[in-house]
Amino acid sequence: MNSATDVWGRVLNILSSDLTETAISTWFDDCRAIELSDSRLFIHTPSVFKKSVIEGRFIGTIKSALCEIFSGEYDVIILDDDGLKAMTEASSEPDYMYIDEYTFENFVVGNSNKFAHAAALAVGEGLPKQGYNPLFIYGESGLGKTHLLHAIRHSISKKYPHYRIACVKGDEFLNELILAIQQGKMIEFREKYRGADFFLMDDIQFIAGKIETQNEFFNTFNTLYELGKQIVFTSDRPPSEMHRLEDRLKTRLESSLQADIQPPDDALRVAIIRNKAEQLGVTFPDDVTNYIAENLISNVRQLEGAVKMIIAYRDIMDDDITVASVTSRLKDMFKGIKELIPTTETIISETAKYYLLTPENLKGQSRTRDTALARQIAMFLIRKMTNLSLKDIGEIFDGRDHSTVLSSIRRIEATLREKTEFSKIISDITSNINSIT
Ligand code: ADP
Ligand code: MG
Protein backbone atom coordinates (compact mmCIF):
# COMPACT_ATOMS: atom_id res chain seq x y z
CA MET A 1 0.00 0.00 0.00
CA ASN A 2 2.98 2.16 0.65
CA SER A 3 5.35 1.56 -2.17
CA ALA A 4 8.33 3.84 -2.56
CA THR A 5 6.88 5.05 -5.85
CA ASP A 6 3.53 5.95 -4.31
CA VAL A 7 5.21 7.83 -1.54
CA TRP A 8 7.52 9.65 -3.92
CA GLY A 9 4.49 10.65 -6.00
CA ARG A 10 2.89 12.12 -2.92
CA VAL A 11 6.08 13.94 -2.03
CA LEU A 12 6.20 15.53 -5.48
CA ASN A 13 2.60 16.51 -5.10
CA ILE A 14 3.35 18.31 -1.89
CA LEU A 15 6.45 19.93 -3.38
CA SER A 16 4.43 21.22 -6.29
CA SER A 17 2.57 23.59 -4.01
CA ASP A 18 5.85 25.42 -3.33
CA LEU A 19 7.88 24.96 -6.49
CA THR A 20 7.17 25.88 -10.07
CA GLU A 21 6.38 23.19 -12.59
CA THR A 22 9.63 23.95 -14.39
CA ALA A 23 11.64 23.50 -11.22
CA ILE A 24 9.96 20.19 -10.53
CA SER A 25 10.54 18.85 -14.01
CA THR A 26 14.12 20.14 -14.17
CA TRP A 27 15.23 18.48 -10.98
CA PHE A 28 12.91 15.58 -10.47
CA ASP A 29 11.70 14.27 -13.83
CA ASP A 30 14.37 11.61 -14.05
CA CYS A 31 14.30 10.75 -10.37
CA ARG A 32 13.06 7.34 -9.41
CA ALA A 33 12.06 6.06 -6.02
CA ILE A 34 14.07 2.96 -5.24
CA GLU A 35 13.14 1.84 -1.81
CA LEU A 36 11.27 2.80 1.28
CA SER A 37 12.60 1.06 4.34
CA ASP A 38 12.06 1.65 8.04
CA SER A 39 12.54 5.37 8.06
CA ARG A 40 14.44 6.06 4.87
CA LEU A 41 13.44 6.85 1.34
CA PHE A 42 16.01 6.14 -1.36
CA ILE A 43 15.80 8.18 -4.56
CA HIS A 44 17.91 7.67 -7.65
CA THR A 45 18.93 10.35 -10.11
CA PRO A 46 21.23 9.55 -13.05
CA SER A 47 22.98 12.91 -12.79
CA VAL A 48 25.73 13.60 -10.25
CA PHE A 49 25.07 17.30 -10.64
CA LYS A 50 21.37 16.95 -9.90
CA LYS A 51 22.17 14.82 -6.89
CA SER A 52 24.25 17.62 -5.43
CA VAL A 53 21.60 20.22 -6.17
CA ILE A 54 18.83 18.12 -4.70
CA GLU A 55 20.93 17.50 -1.61
CA GLY A 56 21.83 21.15 -1.30
CA ARG A 57 18.49 22.75 -2.03
CA PHE A 58 15.60 20.37 -1.68
CA ILE A 59 16.40 17.79 0.92
CA GLY A 60 14.76 19.76 3.75
CA THR A 61 11.57 20.24 1.77
CA ILE A 62 11.45 16.58 0.83
CA LYS A 63 11.90 15.59 4.45
CA SER A 64 9.11 17.91 5.58
CA ALA A 65 6.84 16.42 2.93
CA LEU A 66 7.62 12.94 4.23
CA CYS A 67 6.99 14.15 7.72
CA GLU A 68 3.58 15.35 6.60
CA ILE A 69 2.81 11.99 5.01
CA PHE A 70 4.01 9.78 7.84
CA SER A 71 3.80 12.08 10.85
CA GLY A 72 7.33 11.05 11.63
CA GLU A 73 10.85 11.76 10.61
CA TYR A 74 12.17 10.17 7.46
CA ASP A 75 15.64 10.34 6.03
CA VAL A 76 16.11 10.87 2.34
CA ILE A 77 19.04 9.35 0.55
CA ILE A 78 19.83 10.51 -2.97
CA LEU A 79 21.74 8.00 -5.03
CA ASP A 80 23.61 8.62 -8.26
CA ASP A 81 24.48 5.67 -10.52
CA ASP A 82 27.40 4.60 -8.35
CA GLY A 83 25.33 4.84 -5.22
CA LEU A 84 22.58 2.79 -6.78
CA LYS A 85 25.02 0.14 -7.90
CA ALA A 86 26.57 -0.09 -4.43
CA MET A 87 23.15 -0.36 -2.91
CA THR A 88 21.97 -3.07 -5.27
CA GLU A 89 25.09 -5.08 -4.58
CA ALA A 90 24.66 -4.68 -0.85
CA SER A 91 20.98 -5.46 -0.87
CA SER A 92 21.51 -9.18 -1.01
CA GLU A 93 22.20 -8.59 2.67
CA PRO A 94 19.18 -7.84 4.82
CA ASP A 95 18.45 -4.20 5.41
CA TYR A 96 19.10 -4.15 9.10
CA MET A 97 21.97 -6.49 9.65
CA TYR A 98 22.10 -5.94 13.34
CA ILE A 99 18.58 -7.19 13.86
CA ASP A 100 19.85 -10.52 12.62
CA GLU A 101 22.14 -10.65 15.60
CA TYR A 102 19.14 -10.48 17.90
CA THR A 103 18.93 -14.20 18.49
CA PHE A 104 18.59 -16.34 21.61
CA GLU A 105 22.15 -17.56 21.11
CA ASN A 106 23.44 -13.99 21.39
CA PHE A 107 21.39 -13.12 24.43
CA VAL A 108 23.31 -13.29 27.70
CA VAL A 109 21.13 -14.46 30.56
CA GLY A 110 21.42 -13.23 34.16
CA ASN A 111 19.22 -12.65 37.18
CA SER A 112 17.67 -9.49 35.85
CA ASN A 113 16.39 -10.97 32.60
CA LYS A 114 16.05 -14.67 33.40
CA PHE A 115 12.30 -14.82 33.52
CA ALA A 116 11.72 -12.71 30.40
CA HIS A 117 14.25 -14.83 28.55
CA ALA A 118 12.63 -18.11 29.63
CA ALA A 119 9.18 -16.90 28.63
CA ALA A 120 10.43 -15.65 25.27
CA LEU A 121 12.20 -18.93 24.66
CA ALA A 122 9.02 -20.89 25.34
CA VAL A 123 7.05 -18.67 22.95
CA GLY A 124 9.83 -18.99 20.39
CA GLU A 125 9.15 -22.71 20.35
CA GLY A 126 6.19 -21.71 18.26
CA LEU A 127 3.23 -23.56 19.65
CA PRO A 128 0.99 -21.06 21.41
CA LYS A 129 0.75 -22.06 25.02
CA GLN A 130 -2.13 -21.02 27.21
CA GLY A 131 -0.14 -19.55 30.06
CA TYR A 132 2.19 -17.60 27.79
CA ASN A 133 -0.34 -15.77 25.70
CA PRO A 134 -0.15 -12.84 25.42
CA LEU A 135 3.38 -12.32 26.62
CA PHE A 136 4.14 -8.79 27.79
CA ILE A 137 7.83 -7.94 28.22
CA TYR A 138 8.61 -4.62 29.84
CA GLY A 139 11.60 -2.73 31.13
CA GLU A 140 13.55 0.46 30.64
CA SER A 141 15.28 1.39 27.43
CA GLY A 142 18.36 -0.56 26.32
CA LEU A 143 17.77 -3.68 28.39
CA GLY A 144 17.06 -6.20 25.65
CA LYS A 145 13.31 -6.12 24.93
CA THR A 146 13.66 -5.65 21.19
CA HIS A 147 16.41 -8.26 21.19
CA LEU A 148 14.09 -10.86 22.74
CA LEU A 149 11.21 -9.96 20.45
CA HIS A 150 13.34 -10.49 17.36
CA ALA A 151 14.81 -13.65 18.83
CA ILE A 152 11.26 -14.99 19.00
CA ARG A 153 10.65 -13.93 15.42
CA HIS A 154 13.82 -15.64 14.24
CA SER A 155 13.15 -18.80 16.06
CA ILE A 156 9.59 -19.10 14.77
CA SER A 157 10.43 -18.23 11.21
CA LYS A 158 13.10 -20.92 11.21
CA LYS A 159 10.91 -23.61 12.74
CA TYR A 160 7.68 -22.73 10.98
CA PRO A 161 8.51 -21.02 7.69
CA HIS A 162 4.84 -21.07 6.61
CA TYR A 163 3.60 -19.03 9.58
CA ARG A 164 2.65 -15.45 8.95
CA ILE A 165 4.48 -13.29 11.43
CA ALA A 166 3.47 -9.67 11.88
CA CYS A 167 6.25 -7.84 13.67
CA VAL A 168 5.66 -4.14 14.05
CA LYS A 169 6.63 -1.26 16.30
CA GLY A 170 3.83 0.54 18.11
CA ASP A 171 4.63 3.81 16.37
CA GLU A 172 4.75 2.18 12.94
CA PHE A 173 1.37 0.61 13.57
CA LEU A 174 0.13 4.08 14.41
CA ASN A 175 1.65 5.64 11.28
CA GLU A 176 0.20 2.93 9.08
CA LEU A 177 -3.16 3.33 10.68
CA ILE A 178 -3.19 7.09 10.12
CA LEU A 179 -2.25 6.54 6.50
CA ALA A 180 -4.84 3.80 6.01
CA ILE A 181 -7.55 6.06 7.43
CA GLN A 182 -6.50 8.94 5.20
CA GLN A 183 -6.37 6.78 2.09
CA GLY A 184 -9.45 4.72 2.84
CA LYS A 185 -7.42 1.51 2.97
CA MET A 186 -8.62 0.08 6.23
CA ILE A 187 -9.53 -3.26 4.69
CA GLU A 188 -5.94 -3.88 3.61
CA PHE A 189 -4.67 -2.68 6.95
CA ARG A 190 -6.90 -5.08 8.83
CA GLU A 191 -6.07 -7.99 6.60
CA LYS A 192 -2.41 -7.47 7.15
CA TYR A 193 -2.59 -7.66 10.91
CA ARG A 194 -5.59 -9.80 11.59
CA GLY A 195 -4.36 -12.55 9.30
CA ALA A 196 -1.17 -13.09 11.28
CA ASP A 197 -0.30 -16.34 13.07
CA PHE A 198 2.09 -14.50 15.30
CA PHE A 199 1.65 -10.89 16.28
CA LEU A 200 4.71 -9.23 17.75
CA MET A 201 4.52 -5.57 18.70
CA ASP A 202 7.55 -3.67 19.93
CA ASP A 203 7.11 -0.56 22.09
CA ILE A 204 3.37 -0.81 22.50
CA GLN A 205 3.40 2.29 24.74
CA PHE A 206 3.14 4.35 21.57
CA ILE A 207 -0.42 3.32 20.96
CA ALA A 208 -1.68 4.81 24.22
CA GLY A 209 -3.40 8.03 23.32
CA LYS A 210 -6.09 8.62 20.79
CA ILE A 211 -9.20 6.53 21.01
CA GLU A 212 -9.31 5.56 17.30
CA THR A 213 -5.93 3.87 17.47
CA GLN A 214 -6.80 2.07 20.63
CA ASN A 215 -10.05 0.83 19.11
CA GLU A 216 -8.30 -0.52 16.06
CA PHE A 217 -5.59 -2.04 18.17
CA PHE A 218 -8.11 -3.56 20.56
CA ASN A 219 -10.03 -5.16 17.72
CA THR A 220 -6.89 -6.55 16.13
CA PHE A 221 -5.81 -7.87 19.46
CA ASN A 222 -9.17 -9.49 20.24
CA THR A 223 -9.50 -11.07 16.82
CA LEU A 224 -6.08 -12.67 17.08
CA TYR A 225 -6.53 -13.68 20.67
CA GLU A 226 -9.83 -15.37 19.97
CA LEU A 227 -8.29 -17.26 17.09
CA GLY A 228 -5.71 -18.57 19.53
CA LYS A 229 -2.79 -16.80 17.87
CA GLN A 230 0.31 -16.00 19.87
CA ILE A 231 0.76 -12.35 20.77
CA VAL A 232 3.85 -10.70 22.23
CA PHE A 233 4.27 -7.10 23.35
CA THR A 234 7.15 -5.10 24.64
CA SER A 235 6.84 -1.82 26.45
CA ASP A 236 8.87 0.56 28.56
CA ARG A 237 6.33 0.21 31.36
CA PRO A 238 3.88 -2.36 32.70
CA PRO A 239 0.21 -2.20 31.63
CA SER A 240 -0.74 -0.84 35.05
CA GLU A 241 1.32 2.26 34.32
CA MET A 242 -0.01 2.87 30.85
CA HIS A 243 -2.29 5.59 32.05
CA ARG A 244 -3.83 6.64 28.82
CA LEU A 245 -5.13 3.22 27.95
CA GLU A 246 -8.81 2.56 27.87
CA ASP A 247 -9.88 0.39 30.77
CA ARG A 248 -10.98 -2.58 28.67
CA LEU A 249 -7.64 -2.64 26.89
CA LYS A 250 -5.71 -2.21 30.08
CA THR A 251 -7.61 -5.06 31.70
CA ARG A 252 -6.82 -7.27 28.75
CA LEU A 253 -3.14 -6.41 28.84
CA GLU A 254 -3.00 -6.88 32.57
CA SER A 255 -4.05 -10.46 32.07
CA SER A 256 -0.95 -11.08 29.93
CA LEU A 257 1.99 -12.99 31.25
CA GLN A 258 4.08 -10.03 32.39
CA ALA A 259 7.83 -10.41 32.39
CA ASP A 260 10.02 -7.52 33.40
CA ILE A 261 13.67 -6.94 32.62
CA GLN A 262 15.64 -5.09 35.25
CA PRO A 263 18.96 -3.29 34.77
CA PRO A 264 21.79 -5.86 34.70
CA ASP A 265 23.55 -6.70 37.95
CA ASP A 266 27.37 -6.79 38.26
CA ALA A 267 27.74 -10.37 37.12
CA LEU A 268 25.56 -9.89 34.06
CA ARG A 269 27.31 -6.67 33.06
CA VAL A 270 30.66 -8.44 33.17
CA ALA A 271 29.28 -11.37 31.16
CA ILE A 272 27.79 -9.07 28.54
CA ILE A 273 31.01 -7.08 28.11
CA ARG A 274 32.97 -10.31 27.66
CA ASN A 275 30.43 -11.66 25.22
CA LYS A 276 30.29 -8.52 23.08
CA ALA A 277 34.08 -8.22 22.96
CA GLU A 278 34.41 -11.89 22.05
CA GLN A 279 31.94 -11.50 19.23
CA LEU A 280 34.27 -8.85 17.86
CA GLY A 281 37.21 -11.20 18.31
CA VAL A 282 38.81 -9.38 21.23
CA THR A 283 39.47 -10.35 24.84
CA PHE A 284 39.63 -7.48 27.31
CA PRO A 285 41.91 -7.65 30.36
CA ASP A 286 39.83 -8.35 33.49
CA ASP A 287 40.52 -4.99 35.08
CA VAL A 288 39.21 -3.25 31.96
CA THR A 289 36.07 -5.40 31.94
CA ASN A 290 35.49 -4.63 35.61
CA TYR A 291 36.10 -0.94 35.12
CA ILE A 292 33.46 -0.70 32.40
CA ALA A 293 31.05 -2.83 34.41
CA GLU A 294 31.47 -0.56 37.44
CA ASN A 295 30.92 2.63 35.52
CA LEU A 296 28.22 1.89 33.01
CA ILE A 297 25.57 0.42 35.17
CA SER A 298 22.13 1.11 33.89
CA ASN A 299 21.87 -0.10 30.36
CA VAL A 300 23.08 -2.85 28.04
CA ARG A 301 23.05 -0.63 24.96
CA GLN A 302 25.68 1.58 26.61
CA LEU A 303 27.83 -1.40 27.49
CA GLU A 304 27.71 -2.55 23.92
CA GLY A 305 28.54 0.95 22.66
CA ALA A 306 31.50 1.17 25.03
CA VAL A 307 32.92 -2.16 23.89
CA LYS A 308 32.61 -1.18 20.24
CA MET A 309 34.18 2.21 20.82
CA ILE A 310 37.14 0.78 22.73
CA ILE A 311 37.85 -1.74 20.01
CA ALA A 312 37.47 0.85 17.28
CA TYR A 313 39.96 3.12 19.04
CA ARG A 314 42.40 0.30 19.45
CA ASP A 315 42.19 -0.43 15.73
CA ILE A 316 42.54 3.17 14.63
CA MET A 317 45.05 4.43 17.16
CA ASP A 318 46.88 1.21 17.78
CA ASP A 319 46.26 1.74 21.49
CA ASP A 320 46.64 -1.02 24.01
CA ILE A 321 43.45 -1.69 25.87
CA THR A 322 44.26 -0.64 29.44
CA VAL A 323 42.21 0.94 32.20
CA ALA A 324 44.04 4.22 31.59
CA SER A 325 43.32 4.36 27.87
CA VAL A 326 39.77 3.20 28.38
CA THR A 327 39.13 5.82 31.07
CA SER A 328 39.81 8.70 28.75
CA ARG A 329 37.79 7.15 25.93
CA LEU A 330 34.80 6.56 28.10
CA LYS A 331 34.77 9.95 29.75
CA ASP A 332 32.93 11.44 26.84
CA MET A 333 30.52 8.62 26.88
CA PHE A 334 29.67 9.03 30.57
CA LYS A 335 29.16 12.69 29.95
CA GLY A 336 27.11 12.26 26.82
CA ILE A 337 24.65 9.99 28.51
CA LYS A 338 23.29 12.65 30.80
CA GLU A 339 23.11 15.27 28.13
CA LEU A 340 20.79 13.79 25.58
CA ILE A 341 18.39 16.49 24.50
CA PRO A 342 15.55 15.59 22.17
CA THR A 343 15.20 17.50 18.93
CA THR A 344 12.25 19.85 18.49
CA GLU A 345 11.12 17.73 15.54
CA THR A 346 10.88 14.70 17.80
CA ILE A 347 8.91 16.63 20.39
CA ILE A 348 6.53 18.03 17.79
CA SER A 349 6.03 14.78 15.93
CA GLU A 350 5.46 12.75 19.10
CA THR A 351 2.96 15.27 20.44
CA ALA A 352 1.22 15.40 17.07
CA LYS A 353 1.10 11.63 16.85
CA TYR A 354 -0.48 11.38 20.27
CA TYR A 355 -3.39 13.42 18.97
CA LEU A 356 -3.41 11.76 15.54
CA LEU A 357 -2.27 14.97 13.90
CA THR A 358 0.65 15.80 11.65
CA PRO A 359 3.57 18.01 12.68
CA GLU A 360 2.37 20.48 10.03
CA ASN A 361 -1.02 20.69 11.74
CA LEU A 362 0.77 21.67 14.93
CA LYS A 363 3.03 24.22 13.36
CA GLY A 364 0.26 25.72 11.25
CA GLN A 365 -2.68 27.95 11.96
CA SER A 366 -5.51 25.51 12.59
CA ARG A 367 -7.50 26.29 15.71
CA THR A 368 -9.49 23.12 16.26
CA ARG A 369 -9.56 22.13 19.90
CA ASP A 370 -7.17 19.19 19.63
CA THR A 371 -4.72 21.03 17.43
CA ALA A 372 -4.61 24.03 19.71
CA LEU A 373 -4.09 21.85 22.76
CA ALA A 374 -1.44 19.70 21.10
CA ARG A 375 0.35 22.84 19.94
CA GLN A 376 0.40 24.23 23.47
CA ILE A 377 1.71 20.94 24.82
CA ALA A 378 4.46 20.85 22.21
CA MET A 379 5.52 24.39 23.11
CA PHE A 380 5.48 23.52 26.79
CA LEU A 381 7.60 20.41 26.25
CA ILE A 382 10.09 22.15 23.98
CA ARG A 383 10.57 24.80 26.62
CA LYS A 384 11.02 22.16 29.28
CA MET A 385 13.22 19.72 27.39
CA THR A 386 15.46 21.93 25.26
CA ASN A 387 17.42 25.16 25.72
CA LEU A 388 15.34 27.14 23.26
CA SER A 389 14.05 30.61 24.13
CA LEU A 390 10.40 31.62 23.82
CA LYS A 391 11.31 33.54 20.71
CA ASP A 392 13.03 30.52 19.11
CA ILE A 393 10.00 28.41 19.90
CA GLY A 394 7.67 30.96 18.36
CA GLU A 395 9.66 30.83 15.17
CA ILE A 396 9.28 27.09 14.86
CA PHE A 397 5.54 27.54 15.13
CA ASP A 398 4.98 29.57 12.03
CA GLY A 399 6.53 32.75 13.42
CA ARG A 400 4.26 33.19 16.43
CA ASP A 401 5.57 35.78 18.84
CA HIS A 402 7.05 35.01 22.22
CA SER A 403 4.04 36.24 24.19
CA THR A 404 1.83 33.70 22.41
CA VAL A 405 4.31 30.98 23.32
CA LEU A 406 4.41 32.15 26.91
CA SER A 407 0.66 32.18 27.29
CA SER A 408 0.44 28.68 25.76
CA ILE A 409 2.97 27.40 28.26
CA ARG A 410 1.14 29.10 31.13
CA ARG A 411 -2.11 27.52 30.04
CA ILE A 412 -0.55 24.06 30.14
CA GLU A 413 0.94 24.76 33.55
CA ALA A 414 -2.45 25.85 34.81
CA THR A 415 -4.17 22.76 33.41
CA LEU A 416 -1.53 20.61 35.05
CA ARG A 417 -2.37 22.15 38.39
CA GLU A 418 -6.10 21.78 37.90
CA LYS A 419 -6.43 18.30 36.42
CA THR A 420 -4.45 15.37 37.71
CA GLU A 421 -5.43 13.29 34.66
CA PHE A 422 -3.64 15.75 32.45
CA SER A 423 -0.22 15.13 33.96
CA LYS A 424 -0.51 11.54 32.73
CA ILE A 425 -0.88 12.76 29.17
CA ILE A 426 2.21 14.90 29.54
CA SER A 427 4.16 12.08 31.09
CA ASP A 428 3.12 9.62 28.35
CA ILE A 429 4.21 11.98 25.61
CA THR A 430 7.45 12.72 27.46
CA SER A 431 8.26 9.02 27.73
CA ASN A 432 7.57 8.54 24.04
CA ILE A 433 9.95 11.37 23.23
CA ASN A 434 12.60 9.97 25.52
CA SER A 435 12.39 6.51 24.11
CA ILE A 436 13.15 7.91 20.66
CA THR A 437 15.96 10.21 21.75
P1 ADP B 1 15.35 -2.30 24.39
O2 ADP B 1 14.48 -2.77 23.28
O3 ADP B 1 14.98 -2.88 25.71
O4 ADP B 1 15.50 -0.82 24.45
P5 ADP B 1 17.42 -3.64 22.90
O6 ADP B 1 16.81 -4.98 22.78
O7 ADP B 1 17.40 -2.75 21.72
O8 ADP B 1 16.82 -2.86 24.15
O9 ADP B 1 18.91 -3.84 23.44
C10 ADP B 1 19.91 -2.83 23.29
C11 ADP B 1 21.20 -3.48 22.84
O12 ADP B 1 21.72 -4.27 23.88
C13 ADP B 1 20.99 -4.41 21.66
O14 ADP B 1 22.07 -4.28 20.78
C15 ADP B 1 20.96 -5.78 22.26
O16 ADP B 1 21.47 -6.77 21.39
C17 ADP B 1 21.85 -5.63 23.47
N18 ADP B 1 21.44 -6.47 24.59
C19 ADP B 1 20.48 -6.20 25.50
N20 ADP B 1 20.38 -7.18 26.40
C21 ADP B 1 21.29 -8.11 26.05
C22 ADP B 1 21.67 -9.38 26.59
N23 ADP B 1 21.11 -9.88 27.71
N24 ADP B 1 22.65 -10.06 25.97
C25 ADP B 1 23.24 -9.56 24.87
N26 ADP B 1 22.92 -8.37 24.30
C27 ADP B 1 21.96 -7.65 24.88
MG1 MG C 1 13.51 -1.60 21.90
Residue 95 confidence class, pLDDT cut points 50, 70, 90: very low
Q: What integer best gives the mean pLDDT of the chain? A: 86
| Cβ pair 408, 379 in contact under 8 A | yes
Q: Which atom of ligand 1 is nearest to the CA of 149?
A: 6
Ligand 1 contact via 301 beta carbon (within 6 Å): yes
Q: What is the greatest pairwise CA distance in the chain?
A: 65
Check residue 91 and give its pLDDT.
Answer: 46
- 366-372, Cβ contacts within 8 angstroms, sequence gap of 24 or more: none
Q: Of the ligands numbered here, which is closest to the C-alpha atom of 108?
A: 1
For the segment 3-18, what is each residue's pLDDT rounded down to a tens digit?
Answer: 778 889 889 999 998 8
Check residue 128 and give its pLDDT.
Answer: 66
| pTM beyond 0.85, yes or no | no
Q: Of the ligands numbered here, which is closest to the C-alpha atom of 170?
A: 2
**Span from the CA of 288 to the centroid of ligand 1 (angstroms):** 21
For the segment 7-53, what is each residue's pLDDT rounded down to a tens digit?
Answer: 898 899 999 988 888 888 889 988 888 888 767 888 988 888 889 88
Check residue 202 and give its pLDDT.
Answer: 94
Q: Of the ligands numbered here, which is closest to the C-alpha atom of 141?
A: 1
Which protein residue has the closest C-alpha to ligand 1 atom 19?
A: 144
| Cβ pair 295, 264 in contact under 8 A | no
**Span from the CA of 144 to the centroid of ligand 2 (angstroms):** 7
For the segment 265-316, what is each residue's pLDDT rounded down to a tens digit?
Answer: 999 999 999 999 999 899 999 999 998 898 888 789 889 988 988 888 887 7
Q: Which atom of ligand 1 is nearest to the CA of 261?
A: 3
For the segment 311-323, what is each residue's pLDDT rounded down to a tens digit?
Answer: 888 877 777 888 8
Reply yes or no on whether the pLDDT at 338 is more than 80: no
Check residue 172 and give its pLDDT.
Answer: 83
- Cα–Cα separations (whole angstroms), residue 45 to 34, 37, 62: 10, 18, 15
Q: Of the ligands numbered here, which is closest to the C-alpha atom of 264?
A: 1
Ligand 1 contact via 142 beta carbon (within 6 Å): yes
Ligand 1 contact via 150 beta carbon (within 6 Å): no
For residue 43, the Cα-to-chain-centroid distance in whole angstroms is 23
Ligand 1 contact via 264 beta carbon (within 6 Å): no
| Cβ pair 245, 424 in contact under 8 A | no
Residue 329 confidence class, pLDDT cut points 50, 70, 90: confident
Q: Of the ligands numbered here, which is closest to the C-alpha atom of 106?
A: 1
| Cβ pair 120, 62 in contact under 8 A | no
Ligand 1 contact via 107 beta carbon (within 6 Å): yes
Residue 54 confidence class, pLDDT cut points 50, 70, 90: very high
Strands 165-169 and 230-235, bridge-based pairing: unpaired
Which protein residue has the closest C-alpha to ligand 1 atom 6?
A: 144
Residue 339 confidence class, pLDDT cut points 50, 70, 90: very low
Separation CA 215–CA 246 (nearest Å) = 9
More confident residue, 39 or 345: 345
**Span from the CA of 384 to the centroid of ligand 2 (angstroms):** 25
Which protein residue has the closest C-alpha to ligand 1 atom 13?
A: 301
Reply yes or no on whether the pLDDT at 93 is more than 50: no
Rg for the chain (alpha carbons), in Å?
A: 23
Separation CA 143–CA 260 (nearest Å) = 10
Ligand 1 contact via 245 beta carbon (within 6 Å): no
Which protein residue has the closest C-alpha to ligand 1 atom 12?
A: 301
For the segment 185-228, what is each residue's pLDDT rounded down to a tens digit?
Answer: 889 999 889 889 999 999 998 887 667 778 888 888 999 988 98
Mutate to test the pocket of ligand 1, among 115, 148, 206, 300 (most ligand atoms within 8 A of CB): 300
Express as a percent the part of the chain with pLDDT over 70.
93
Mutate to test the pocket of ligand 1, among 113, 138, 147, 234 (most ligand atoms within 8 A of CB): 147
**Span from the CA of 161 to the centroid of ligand 2 (angstroms):** 25
Check residue 340 and give its pLDDT.
Answer: 55
For the segment 397-426, what is each residue's pLDDT rounded down to a tens digit?
Answer: 999 999 999 999 999 999 998 888 888 899
Reply yes or no on whether the pLDDT at 94 is more than 80: no
Residue 105 confidence class, pLDDT cut points 50, 70, 90: very high
Q: Which atom of ligand 1 is nearest to the CA of 143?
A: 3
